[in-house]
Amino acid sequence: MTRLLIHGTGRMGRRIQARLPAFNNFTLVGLVSKSKPEDTNLWSPALADIDQDVDLLIDFTLPDGTRTVAQWCEQNGVALVSGTTGLAEEDKLALKKAARKVPVLWAPNLSFGVALLDSLVRQAAAALGSEADIHIAETHHVHKVDAPSGTALALAATAMEGRGKRLEELLGSKDLGDLVEAEDGGLTFSSVREGEVIGEHSITFRLAGEEIELRHKALDRDVFAIGALKAAEWLVGQKPGYYSTSDWLGLN
């Protein structure tokens, strides 16, 4: 039985709890968040208060919390799945440092459909090369703070890797979290925040006289919760390392 700790009790944390009964190999040993959720005796306000044995932690919180989580998991030998977006470089470095001692899977989007989309984007970018302009559009609910979304940035990075380049090199010293448009390399973004949209992403390759569009639309937030739990099932059997959804689903 895998002893699970959930860090963050917002929308995603609540959906993971709701879906947890379908995963018989997990037992929930704690919830960590600043404010106490209703109807639970498992709550702790901080990781430092956790005194139970934990095998795996699922993290859906704010970026500054993810850095703390990575350090705690490294120190306590706990596997980590994180879907928190808007991470700064130091947050990602903390995850990679933890991955030297424990298995870590971070992804801006844990749905199977987006993992497959990412694989298709890599293939398209490699086949079309630098002749195609690339536009990535994303729409989310009004509560989402980061723009472009973490998934949009991940798709952009994958497209550049398909061309044999790195997104950071293409954009120079710009902060990717603040990026809305980049002229070099024909890569552009657009972000919309409206209503309660769960998440929509499209990537369009534009050539002379034609376009190729790949698109994903999340219809239910539970696809991310189920994905997180399935990724967690896979991760607990892995050696220390820094993993992606492609590793989990065998899409490399």
Q: In whole angstroms, give the CA distance from residue 13 to residue 228.
A: 10
Residue 121: name the closest of 105, 132, 106, 108 by CA. Answer: 132
The answer to whether residue 140 is catalytic is yes
- Tens of pLDDT, residues 186-205: 888 999 999 999 999 999 99
Q: In whole angstroms, give the CA distance from residue 83 to residue 230.
A: 13
Residue 172: pLDDT band with limits 50, 70, 90: low
CATH number of the domain that 168 lies in? 3.30.360.10
**Are 73 and 45 contained in the same domain?**
yes
**Are 105 and 182 contained in the same domain?**
no
Residue 11: pLDDT band with limits 50, 70, 90: confident
Half-sphere exposure of 35 (CA within 13 A, CB side): 3
Domain range for residue 193? 112-217
Flag whether pLDDT at 175 surpasses 60.
Answer: no
The answer to whether residue 144 is catalytic is yes
| Residue among 144, 165, 216, 239 flagged as catalytic | 144
Q: In whole angstroms, give the CA distance from residue 115 to residue 149.
A: 15
| Residue among 7, 140, 201, 216 flagged as catalytic | 140
CATH number of the domain that 60 lies in? 3.40.50.720
Check: CB of residue 162 under 8 Å from CB of residue 205: no
Mean of the pLDDT values across residues 46-74?
Answer: 93
pLDDT at 171: 57
**Are 232 and 165 contained in the same domain?**
no
**Are 125 and 213 contained in the same domain?**
yes
